[in-house]
Structure 1
Amino acid sequence: MFQFPEWLQEYQVEDETFGAAYEATLPPQRAWLKKTIAQVYGVNSPDAPLKTWDVNTWRGGFETEVTSTPLEWTVLLLDAKSVSPVRILAALVPALAAGVKNVLAVFGGEGEISQAVLAGFELAGQEDVVKLPQNKIEELLEHLMSSGSDGAIVDLRTDLMLLPYGPGVRYWRAPEISSISVCKEEDSPDMDVLAFVHPDVDFVEVDEDSLAEVESDAAVVPAELVGDALLNFSIVLTHGQEGCWLWNGFNCSFFKRECVALAVAE
């Protein structure tokens, strides 16, 4: 059975640090983090079976049999610029929903982990969070690559760094989100909420006519403009969802190992 190295316990973020971060995050802010967790869980079908075995019979007298099981481990890589709690949660929760038993968040480099990010981990039940010097990150990754177990690395760092490669190891790097187009109406969306969940992003105010002219990484629009926004942005949030996040094309299937068999139909 896979286990992370015991020496990681020396670098574990203490419970008191989690508690202080939770208290420092206001109840309305925590509510948005909870909403993101619940919705990403919902999209990734957490009630699905832990292990599946599907058999399909095809024309021509043959069958395919596919088994699906969670990967053995997942590591989230963070640095001082990984400060958006909802974007991090949207990358973490699919692994939890997939049933991965060993999930570790690793903070490297200078600085401290954002309190909002720690509060998000606390709400998601992600207790295994460590802060490592670079040489220890390299030691951990080398151990994982040579472990012979199937796993995934989710890279949420701003600075791209080369990583070792191992068979059975998957890698996903979060797309850069540096600007978000915001189409306002009356008091929506809540810009204070947007600033909390995306403290590293520039917000560009647009209207219905200029929506297609501005190059941004995502958009926040009234519900009636979703169709137009989807023609120009891969991630769109409606008013009322501005404090949440969902990564396009990234879900719990990334964290599952599939095996396929080609058989003669009986």
Structure 2
Amino acid sequence: MKHTSFSFPDWINDFIPADELFAQAYDGIADTQRAWMKTAIARLFDWYGPRKDTSGHVTRIWDAGFKTRTAYEVVDFAVVLFDGSLQSPARLLAALVPALAGGVKNVLAIRVSAQPPWREALLTGLELAGQELVVDMTDVQVRRLFNELRDSNHTGAVTVLGPKAAVIKSSELQAASRLSFWRPRFSRAATVWMDKTAPFDLETLAFIHPDIIFSVFGAECEMPTDNFSYEGADFGDCLNALIDVAYLPDARLPDALNRAKLILGPGQEGCWIWPDLHPEHFQFHTTAWTLGG
């Protein structure tokens, strides 16, 4: 089904961070923190694949006298677009690994319009995942790239994290039929229930998500950083405070399954998944209806 090979334009290579920056970042991350990121990557690969089929089709003949054919093929490229507001390696990996596990051969990670230095955990997470092509661009440079990608007529999947990155997704690009865009609708807040028999590692949560506001309930404990606050021992209050994400022990799951988009238990502090980022996002789909059987 492929007609021409794809590669990202050569000019983006001017915006790849220096190898020394990756090396310094790796050395700056503790072994236990790297282990958490490796665990997150492994579990994402378990969840999403890795896929061994790159294309397929299904033909059906219907009693009503018509025939349908549906076909899919892995997209030519994937782009993970994020901005400086994203500081979480786990949430970045949860956007990147599905493309890798889905069999996309050309994957690009772009940090857009970010003035502060790279957080070491982000660079290390990208390196541990085996992501080779990482660039730092202004929004003008990113718009140029996406215009070229659109005009190439190749198929692509774009995952967008952060408000500054989201502005790149203009109405013109959104209308490009061979590019698929996905962006999470999650608040940057989470509730945590601390159970004495199954506590969470708050220090790890603080490392993994320095950009999330955590409201902690249950057993009193020391808060690791300023983005954590203790809110009391009432589980009802914990449920009422829940917006999208909850950290709960297994025994508390039944009360929250219909309230939260994502629930993570003890032992999953370093992990994340975007529940509505599906493998199909990284495939180009075609449907045909014809008459006859």
Shared fold, TM over 0.5? yes
Kindly provide the amino acid, as one letter, of the partner of residue 104 in structure 2: V
Secondary structure (helix, strand or coil) at the match of 1:209 reads helix
3-state SS of 2:135 partner: strand
Summarize the alignment of residues 118-137 of structure 1 with structure 2, pairs less than 5 Å apart: 118-137=123-142
Amino acid at match of 2:288: A
The answer for unaligned runs of 5 or more in structure 2 is: 219-234
Q: Which runs of 5+ in 1 are unaligned?
A: none
* Equivalent in the alignment of 1:174: 184
- 1:38-53 aligned at under 5 Å gives the runs 38-53=42-57
In structure 2, the residue matched to 1:87 is: 91
Paired amino acid for 1:203: F
1:22 corresponds to: 26
Q: Is the contact between residue 67 and residue 258 of structure 1 (CA under 8 Å) also seen in structure 2?
A: yes
Distance in 2, Cα, partners of 1:238 & 1:64:
43
Contact kept? 1:181, 1:220, Cα under 8 Å: yes
CA shift, 1:62, in A, is 4.4
- Corresponding position of 1:240: 267
For residues 66 and 48 of structure 1, the distance between their equivalents in structure 2, rounded to whole angstroms, comes to: 19
How do 1:46-85 residues align onto structure 2 when only pairs under 5 Å count?
46-60=50-64, 62-85=66-89
Per-residue deviation, 1:231: 1.9
| Cα contact 2:143–2:168 (8 A) shared by 1 | no
Alignment-derived partner of residue 108 in structure 1:
112
Task: Answer with 156-165 or 33-42: which moved more.
Answer: 156-165
- Residue in structure 2 matching 1:212, options 239, 247, 252: 239
Give 2:281's aligned residue. 254
Query: Map of 1:127-166 to 2, 5 A cutoff?
Result: 127-159=132-164, 160-164=166-170, 165=173, 166=176
Does the 8 Å contact 1:107/1:113 carry over to 2?
A: no
TM-fit CA distance, 1:57:
4.2
Compare 110-119 and 170-179 and name the one that shifted more: 170-179
1:198 pairs with one of 181, 186, 209:
209
Once the two structures are TM-superposed, the CA of residue 265 in structure 1 deviates from its matched residue by: 6.9
SS of alignment partner, residue 254 of structure 1? helix
Which of 22, 37, 41 is the matching residue for 2:41? 37
Question: Secondary structure, in 3 states, of the residue corresponding to 1:211?
Answer: helix
Give the conservation status (yes or no) of the 8 Å contact 1:148–1:167: no
Paired residues, what number? 266
| Higher alpha-carbon deviation: 220-229 or 133-142 | 133-142
SS at match of 2:49: coil
Q: Secondary structure at the match of 2:214?
A: strand
> Match of 1:147, as an amino acid?
S
Deviating more after overlay: 164-173 vs 69-78: 164-173
User: 1:10 — aligned with what?
Assistant: 14
Give the TM-score, by structure 1 length: 0.92
The letter of the residue matching 2:187 is I
Deviation of 1:61 (Å): 5.1
SS at match of 2:247: strand
* Residue 102 of structure 1, CA deviation: 1.2
Note the aligned Cα RMSD (angstroms). Answer: 1.9
